[in-house]
Amino acid sequence: MVNNVIDFPSKAIRDEKLFVSTMREILQKTELAPESVEELIQARLLPIWERYQHKLPISLPSLPPFLSDEQRTLISSSFADQLKIFEEHLHEFTNSLIIDRINAEIQLYLLGG
């Protein structure tokens, strides 16, 4: 029997393609020539996007063996909840940095810099 497997691009690749298409759509509404739009995206904006795409390797260390299962569950759950809140704040902060940097790069490009 032949396996029909469809190889979908990773989330990172899909996100990057969405970023590029969104930037292209926004920049095409400006007075920039199409080749300038592509140059700006490839040379300046995409490297910014790539720089801020990373994961933090955070994990909970082994808990002491004297803790009960209930205590371990409570500590692990609490840590997971706080980690989720931290990740959300970090994501919002990183997005604001990306947006500010992209706006600055576009302004510099438009000024000929």
- Check: CB of residue 105 under 8 Å from CB of residue 47: no
Question: Distance between CA 42 and CA 74 in Å, rounded?
Answer: 47
pLDDT score, position 66: 95
pLDDT score, position 71: 95
- Check: CB of residue 37 under 8 Å from CB of residue 27: yes
User: Would you kindly state where each structural domain of the chain is located, as residue ranges?
Assistant: 70-113
Q: Taking 70 as the threshold, does the pLDDT of residue 14 lie above it?
A: yes
Question: Distance between CA 11 and CA 88 in Å, rounded?
Answer: 18
Question: Distance between CA 60 and CA 83 in Å, rounded?
Answer: 10
Which DSSP category does 42 fall into? I
Q: Which amino acid is at 111?
A: L
Q: Taking 60 as the threshold, does the pLDDT of residue 2 lie above it?
A: no
Task: Give the distance between the most distant pair of CA atoms in the chain.
Answer: 67
pLDDT score, position 1: 52
User: pTM (2 decimals)?
Assistant: 0.69
